[in-house]
Structure 1
Amino acid sequence: MEATSEKWRNNQQEPITSEGFVEVLYEISDPDLPEARATSNHELYISTMPDMLNPPLIDEVEREVTPYATLEHNLWLLDGSKPTVPDNGPDEEYSGYISEGLCDENGDFTINPKISIVFEDIVRILSGVTIAWSTAHGDYPARFRVVLYAGNNLRASKEMDNSTGATSIVEFEMTDFDRVDIEVIRWANPYRRARIEKIYPGIRKVYTKSDLLKFNCSQSIDPLSAELPKYEVAFEVNNIDGTFNPQNNEGLSKYMMERQQLSTRYGFRLDDEIEWIPGGVYYLSDWSAPQNGLSASFKARDLLGFMDANYYKGTFADQGASLYDLAKAVLQDADLPKHKTGVDPWVLDEALRDFTTTAPLPICSRGECLQMIANAACCTVFFSRDGILHIAPLGDSSETLKIHDRNSYSKPEISLTKPVKQIDVSMYSFTAEDREKELYEGTLEVHPGENVFIIEYSNAARTNMASIQVTGNGVTLNQAKTMIYAQSCELVLNSGNSGTTECSIIITGTVMKSTAAIVTIPNLEAGETQPLKNALITRGDHARVVGEWIKRHINNRKSLSVDWRADPRLDAGDIIRVGEPEKNVRVTSSDFSFSGAFKGKIEGVEI
């Protein structure tokens, strides 16, 4: 549950809450942009140039610029509202770019301030660039230009006149470049320094509640990791001007692609200020803008949308591999986008190190692999609001939230699951067969140069005892790059021929035969039998621990759902208090919409 102020919590207890707000920040950029750095021609010594493209964070929120009181015309009042620069420099503060020279009475500079963004590789296409000038001082240029280069070759330029705000969105087609120069030609206020707080390659669109025609947010988790979680937002915006129409060559649709990042935040007006909390980080998965429609709709979901491809690198581990290491290998193989802090976008609980397995991960989607690992480690897969994927035991909420007659639209609906007599946990063991078997035989078309094939076979085999036979004129096996796994082979073949060549492949190896034993965890005198088949459980003590964990959860038989005036600080997985008399409920799904006010539905189990 997201932490909030006491004012926020008291507001939720009122019969009618104060004005609510929703914002969606959509970054229309390339999710696979090359690394970049920012440089300038003449900056003041307190500038923090390395942070221009990745502003530092405090509690997962972009740090605001410190508005130092420097000697410039009408920049600050003698009221203590702006700090002075410490004698030893700005230390840990963030100031962005500040030009060394001041402009004259007309806003002109002796040397035009210029920022260069240099990419490590060619950028193929961007929709523009977003520049935050000096929002802290309310300062901005009267004229500036954006120039693109590929090496030393000029690619394109665009000059902007009469900028009237502290943020400029420069929309134009930027293609095949590796450097962007932002040059200030004239500043709006005399005797001031040019300032740039942040630069975003691409277009950053902020949709407020007045822009959103529809908005919906949903979260669902499974405490037992029997299913994968799903976090999703869906919204509609006005598209009367055709900005998102595919047929509009001047629009933004050609720059849109899956995996572009969206983030949300929610707020309430409390006294004279709006208190905001982060909503979540999502990645664009679907969008549409009907030709004859007036709106454009968008859907975005969590990082698991990147993990639909199969993981095929499972291997046997005679000495046992920790579930922590297995989860890390799957996540690294997925090549997920880095978190905006630069760290990996996942956190694995140390509890995963307590469980080991000798079995390989089966060939299935990377998401399903994580689900299997979490289930075998008595953990749950969930996301925090900064978009980080967590595999950890569910904890208790640090804040208390109550759903009662004053904030619900109906009494809770309660249903009862069937009683479970026992939990039967399968425990797997593997023995090598006496002789080698043919795992795969087939014919492949090999093109000139290096060729990579993923070969799958139904029988699991020991990787250190497999052999590969390649028969084909001019085709050789690249043994250094070829990788053999329990149920697959990443086969690398080199061909010195000028055309396509057919070659035959035979893979042989020692098959590992699997057998399952049942570990029974008794529960009630009568009821159903609950089976659990998880291929990663290979020891009896492991099976008993997982069985007892499941037993504790399935005895919470009362499922509950209620429609309520949603409080957006609630997360799936939280424990809240519902009804009269109050019952403790673990929330398993939360769904709410916003159309001037928050309204939603939660489902959970009484604990």
Structure 2
Amino acid sequence: MQTASQAYKAEMKKQLRDRSYIRVTIGLINQEAQASASVPYPERYTYYSNLGMPLNNYQVEELYAACDQDYSQVDGSMYFLPRRAEDVVLNQGIVSESLLGPVELRFPLPYDIRGLTIEFGKAWPVNFRIESDQSTVEVKGNAFGHFVTEEIFDNTTWLRIVPETMVNGQGRLRIHQITMGIGIYFDNHKILSATKKEHVSPIMEELPTLDFDLTVNNKDRTFDIENEDSAVNFLEIGQEIRVLYGQELENGDTEWIPGATVYLREWSADDERMSFSASDRFEDLDGTYYQGTYRPEGITLYNLAVDVLEDAGVDSRTYWLDGYLRDVTVNNPLPPVPHREALQMIANAGRCILYQDRNGKICMKSSFIPDMEARAGAETYFSSAASVLEKTRKEAYAMTGRNFTDVKPAQFFLPREGGDTGRIQNGYVSEAVAGEDGRFQENPQVEIVLEARYKCFGLTLVFGRNPPGEVVFRSYLDGDLAEEYTVSEIDGVTVISHEFPDFDRLVLEFTKGTPFNRVVLDQIEFGESTDYELSYGTELTRTPKGTQLARVRELQVLRTLYSPSAEESKELTRETVEITSADNRYTFYFSNASYEFSCAITDAGAGQTARIVDSSSYYATVEFSGISGSCEVVIMGKEYAVSQAKISRQTGLQGSLEVWENPLVSSPIHAADLADWVGDYLKADREYDLEYRGDPRIDTNDLVFLENKYVPDLLVRVYDHTLKFNGALAGTIKARRDMSGVAAAKNRLERK
């Protein structure tokens, strides 16, 4: 689920929402820069300027006459200027107040902008400069009002266009339209409808899909395919399309959320509208992966996924793999399948989901509750930091801290140091004692380490007597600091309602305590894995439709075992090939996993040789020497002996038998982990069809709470999500009840 501000969340809960927006670009346009750009110093521009429309994709259609040199026409195509700014009704774009005056744009954050597209209109600059806080681009001899540059403006907070020579002599600089990048750009006033459809199987039963359909107004025939100057003629299959959703907030600001990055597949136009269809990157990963190799020493799923992606030609900067995959090792070869299916098998074997994120990256992310371990640096000899994650009743020792010990029989005498006899079950107790001002000489810290990344929405800290005064949470992901969050309102049971980002390590640093007391932390309990609720009368527009799915009583996960063949080497393939001096290599493919290859030329002549230069379990590449023409080649080798075993898990008392096979799985432990993961999914045998008001925050595989009369805090996992826009948002969801225990009941923490 995408992160959003509290103001955004409150806005989406309102019965009557403010205006929703959408921006769609085809090409290399920085939408964040486009959406946040502004024109400072309005006094430097004419009173009939419009400083916003050129940045928001509005075209200048009719012109006012002005006293610039050789600008105005008396053929009836221009209008007289009104005397007052409030009477200006025609969009003129940005017009400098002075002749040959510059136009400046500002951004609230540094952006990397790849190219600019500027519409200057009928009076364009011939020679001009484009200045930024990092570079200056000199333009000489520009001959058109439509100007495009592919220059890259890195880390830019401002742009300034400074004319030196205008085509009409002494004229003002006019910018009718400016786009931060190169491409076609649509927004609310041009878009008739847009639909985004996503599907992700929570157990990777099938490949993920992302489809986007867009329809724009073409009544002005801007996108006529017979118009040689139309932008439609520059469209190509595979061009990047970026979607950005915006929501107006209570204070009038607009909060923007990335929508999707998809790739153009087809388009068509008539005199009324133009339609675009786009989809995800997986559609292009249709080449076959033949590199599958049996490895007795094993290979991590991480390295195997990298090998598949590299074989598919995917740039390493455009994918992300969960570091947890480095902890899972497999021996079996991947069969010859398309690259996308190979990635699907790896994701399933690693209990991950495979998807494309909103920036277009291919991602493989763990999708289970990770094992956690708690530890602390400086703790007392009677402390037990590891137990803070255990849901057990904690007892307390009597200590000498101020106002800590009483005479009630609820505390125990301290054991002697080094003697464990009679130890009670307690939590973390810091070695450090707070001073008179509540400060420590060395701040106590507790660290939670997870086997895989995790995201949670809130947690609960249960303290002993005299809780500390302040704690700082630092969350880390892959060794990098993800967030620092401070809480200073603390009591004995402290519920922290905060959306923590993905993390695989969480450090709690106690920066202030109760004077003359140690920090006593009995329990850390992670709260909901979601803060999103679909409720009647707020989000849902119709009552949910629930379906009881076929029940499964038993799940069997098959293990595939490879072993050396007991047979002698045999002929694997025989083929006649054509060899030339320019192309002296040929690759032979096998249907079964094989090894110990050798090759020979049938009836080889003098000086004719062949040798295997590359191979996997499913192919062998042979290099020839001394041959020009056709020859028959025999490949000899052995086929692995393949057998199967199974691991069973009981998922219910009634129902069918489900068999799950992943060719990568061979070890009993790996199969058992996979059986638990898939089994939890199959136990959730109820799904729901939902219609709601639409929210761009939701991703497939998100957990959400669904209001239900009989089951409080019903947790469901989204696997289909359709988001429609036609001036307003609407959506549909298909979700399955979640039984994995990833999240607790929504109000469980508050009820403690």
TM-score for both structures, normalised by structure 2: 0.58
Q: Does the Cα contact within 8 Å between 1:446 and 1:495 map onto a contact in 2?
A: no
**3-state SS of the aligned residue for 1:159?**
coil
Note the 1:136-175 alignment, pairs <5 A.
142-144=124-126, 159-161=143-145, 168-169=147-148
Per-residue CA distance 1:432-465 (angstroms, 9 max, x = gap)? 2221122221122334512554432112112xx2
CA distance in 1, matches of 2:212, 2:115: 24
Q: Does the Cα contact within 8 Å between 2:723 and 2:729 map onto a contact in 1?
A: yes
Q: Which residue of 2 aligns with 1:301?
A: 279
CA distance in 2, matches of 1:438, 1:376: 33
Q: Which residue of 1 aligns with 2:329?
A: 356
**3-state SS of the aligned residue for 1:450?**
coil
Per-residue CA distance 1:206-233 (angstroms, 9 max, x = gap)? 1112212221001111111111111221
**1:594 and 1:478, CA in 2 relative to 1: closer, same or farther beyond 3 A?**
farther
Q: Which residue of 1 aligns with 2:363?
A: 390
CA distance in 2, matches of 1:285, 1:273: 35
- Residue among 186, 189, 214 paired with 2:193: 214
CA distance in 2, matches of 1:294, 1:205: 18
**1:483 and 1:63, CA in 2 relative to 1: closer, same or farther beyond 3 A?**
farther
Q: Which residue of 2 aligns with 1:551?
A: 679
Does residue 458 (structure 1) correspond to residue 443 (structure 2)? The answer is no
Q: Which residue of 2 aligns with 1:574?
A: 702
CA distance in 2, matches of 1:443, 1:483: 19
CA distance in 2, matches of 1:234, 1:65: 27
CA distance in 2, matches of 1:591, 1:4: 20
Q: Does the Cα contact within 8 Å between 1:421 and 1:524 map onto a contact in 2?
A: yes
**3-state SS of the aligned residue for 2:144?**
strand
Does residue 329 (structure 1) correspond to residue 313 (structure 2)? The answer is no
Q: Does the Cα contact within 8 Å between 1:130 and 1:204 map onto a contact in 2?
A: no
CA distance in 2, matches of 1:596, 1:63: 18
Note the 1:30-179 alignment, pairs <5 A.
107=100, 131=116, 142-144=124-126, 159-161=143-145, 168-169=147-148
CA distance in 2, matches of 1:589, 1:279: 16
Q: Which residue of 1 aligns with 2:651?
A: 523
Q: Which residue of 2 aligns with 1:539?
A: 667
Q: Which residue of 2 aligns with 1:175?
A: none
Q: Which residue of 1 aligns with 2:547?
A: 415
**1:20 and 1:364, CA in 2 relative to 1: closer, same or farther beyond 3 A?**
same
Q: Does the Cα contact within 8 Å between 2:263 and 2:279 map onto a contact in 1?
A: yes
- Residue among 700, 725, 730 paired with 1:599: 730
Does residue 275 (structure 1) correspond to residue 255 (structure 2)? The answer is yes
CA distance in 2, matches of 1:473, 1:245: 64
Q: Which moved more, 1:395-404 or 1:360-369?
A: 395-404
Q: Does the Cα contact within 8 Å between 1:470 and 1:505 map onto a contact in 2?
A: yes
Per-residue CA distance 1:508-542 (angstroms, 9 max, x = gap)? 11211211111212232332111111110111111
Structure 1 residue 388, shift from structure 2 partner: 1.9
CA distance in 2, matches of 1:286, 1:475: 54
**1:545 and 1:595, CA in 2 relative to 1: closer, same or farther beyond 3 A?**
same
CA distance in 2, matches of 1:63, 1:567: 19
Does residue 439 (structure 1) correspond to residue 572 (structure 2)? The answer is yes
Q: Does the Cα contact within 8 Å between 1:361 and 1:536 map onto a contact in 2?
A: yes
**3-state SS of the aligned residue for 2:203?**
coil
Taking only the aligned residue pairs, the percentage that are identical comes to 23
Q: Which residue of 2 aligns with 1:90?
A: none
Extract unaligned runs of 5+ from structure 1.
30-53, 76-104, 110-128, 147-155, 172-181
Structure 1 residue 23, shift from structure 2 partner: 1.0
CA distance in 2, matches of 1:204, 1:530: 50
Q: Which residue of 1 aligns with 2:636?
A: 508
**3-state SS of the aligned residue for 1:373?**
helix
Q: Which amino acid aligns with 1:299?
A: S
Q: Which residue of 1 aligns with 2:17?
A: 17
TM-score for both structures, normalised by structure 1: 0.71
Structure 1 residue 331, shift from structure 2 partner: 1.1
CA distance in 1, matches of 2:172, 2:213: 47
Structure 1 residue 351, shift from structure 2 partner: 2.0
Does residue 404 (structure 1) correspond to residue 545 (structure 2)? The answer is no
Q: Which residue of 2 aligns with 1:80?
A: none
CA distance in 2, matches of 1:557, 1:593: 28
- Residue among 180, 204, 212 paired with 1:225: 204
CA distance in 1, matches of 2:220, 2:675: 58
Per-residue CA distance 1:378-416 (angstroms, 9 max, x = gap)? 111123222222212235564522222223221111112
Q: Which amino acid aligns with 1:393?
A: S
Per-residue CA distance 1:131-166 (angstroms, 9 max, x = gap)? 2679xxx9xx941479xxxxxxxxx986124x7xxx
CA distance in 2, matches of 1:245, 1:456: 48
**1:402 and 1:186, CA in 2 relative to 1: closer, same or farther beyond 3 A?**
farther
Q: Which residue of 2 aligns with 1:366?
A: 339
**3-state SS of the aligned residue for 1:326?**
helix
CA distance in 2, matches of 1:474, 1:183: 75
Q: Does the Cα contact within 8 Å between 2:192 and 2:727 map onto a contact in 1?
A: no
**1:489 and 1:241, CA in 2 relative to 1: closer, same or farther beyond 3 A?**
farther
Does residue 257 (structure 1) correspond to residue 236 (structure 2)? The answer is yes
Structure 1 residue 597, shift from structure 2 partner: 0.9
Q: Which residue of 2 aligns with 1:284?
A: 264
Structure 1 residue 249, shift from structure 2 partner: 4.0
CA distance in 2, matches of 1:294, 1:492: 59
**1:424 and 1:133, CA in 2 relative to 1: closer, same or farther beyond 3 A?**
same
For the pair shown, which has the larger CA radius of gyration, 1 or 2?
2
**3-state SS of the aligned residue for 1:510?**
strand
Q: Does the Cα contact within 8 Å between 1:426 and 1:517 map onto a contact in 2?
A: yes
Higher relative contact order, chain-length normalized (CA < 8 Å, sep 6+): 1
**3-state SS of the aligned residue for 2:257?**
strand
Structure 1 residue 274, shift from structure 2 partner: 1.9
**3-state SS of the aligned residue for 2:125?**
strand
Q: Which residue of 1 aligns with 2:557?
A: 425
Q: Does the Cα contact within 8 Å between 2:572 and 2:636 map onto a contact in 1?
A: yes
**3-state SS of the aligned residue for 1:233?**
strand
Does residue 204 (structure 1) correspond to residue 186 (structure 2)? The answer is no
Q: Does the Cα contact within 8 Å between 1:317 and 1:358 map onto a contact in 2?
A: yes
CA distance in 2, matches of 1:532, 1:239: 50
Q: How many residues align?
A: 487
